[in-house]
């Protein structure tokens, strides 16, 4: 019967099963190699850290405001401590500037008061107040994903 089958289709059942198992073995080998290649690459995200050092406390004399555009944050130093307010407009992400009323966005005109509360324009949310902390070496650190309540001041440990 197998010779009849071979004569009709040109491939015997045995040949077909042999080819199928060979194909499965090749496919399995490729899958294994792909897995090994994937494992050899570290599973790391190359995003910029949300925590960054802003310097030592004496870089922030009382009464000063520092604008760190590359980090998207303002650092205010007052008698009662430091506070950080995000300078990234909550509308579409432009960098806001200090204005007479607080902050103003140059892109679409959103206005915020001195605490970052929206007082005009299309901005949907207030500017965030960000956590400031101090490292063991005394340097100050801001974390742009850790918001703190409005009015939170960081007291410098000298």
Contact residues for ligand FES (CB under 6 A)? 89, 91-94, 105, 107-110, 121-123
CB of 73 to ligand FES, least distance (A): 16
**121, 106 contact by CB (below 8 A):** no
Cβ nearer to ligand FES, comparing 53 with 108: 108
Nearer to ligand FES, 60 or 103 (CB): 103
Cα(123)–Cα(32) distance, rounded to whole angstroms?
Answer: 51
Least distance from C-beta 94 to ligand FES, angstroms? 4
140: DSSP letter: E
Q: Nearest Cα to 144, choosing from 1, 48, 76, 11?
A: 48
- Minimum Å distance from CB 99 to ligand FES? 13
Closer Cβ to ligand FES, 60 or 112, answer by number: 112
**Whole-angstrom distance, CA of residue 87 vs CA of residue 130:** 11
Name the residue nearer to ligand FES (CB basis): 54 or 89. Answer: 89
User: Within 10 Å of residue 127's Cβ, how many Cβ atoms?
Assistant: 26
């Amino acid at each position: 019967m197998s010779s009849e089958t071979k004569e009709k289709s040109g491939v015997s059942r045995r040949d077909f099963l042999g080819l199928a198992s060979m194909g499965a073995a090749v496919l399995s080998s490729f899958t294994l190699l792909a897995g090994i290649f994937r494992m050899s690459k570290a599973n790391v995200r190359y995003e910029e850290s949300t925590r960054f050092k802003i310097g030592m406390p004496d870089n922030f004399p009382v009464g000063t405001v520092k604008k760190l555009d590359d980090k998207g944050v303002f650092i205010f130093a007052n008698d009662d401590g430091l506070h950080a307010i995000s300078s990234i407009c909550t509308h579409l992400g432009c960098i806001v500037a200090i204005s007479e009323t607080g902050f103003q966005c140059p892109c679409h005109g959103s206005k915020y008061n001195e605490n970052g509360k929206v007082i005009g324009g299309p901005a949907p949310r207030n500017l965030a107040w960000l956590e400031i902390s101090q490292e063991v070496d005394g340097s100050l650190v801001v974390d742009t994903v850790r918001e703190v309540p409005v009015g939170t001041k960081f007291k410098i440990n000298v």
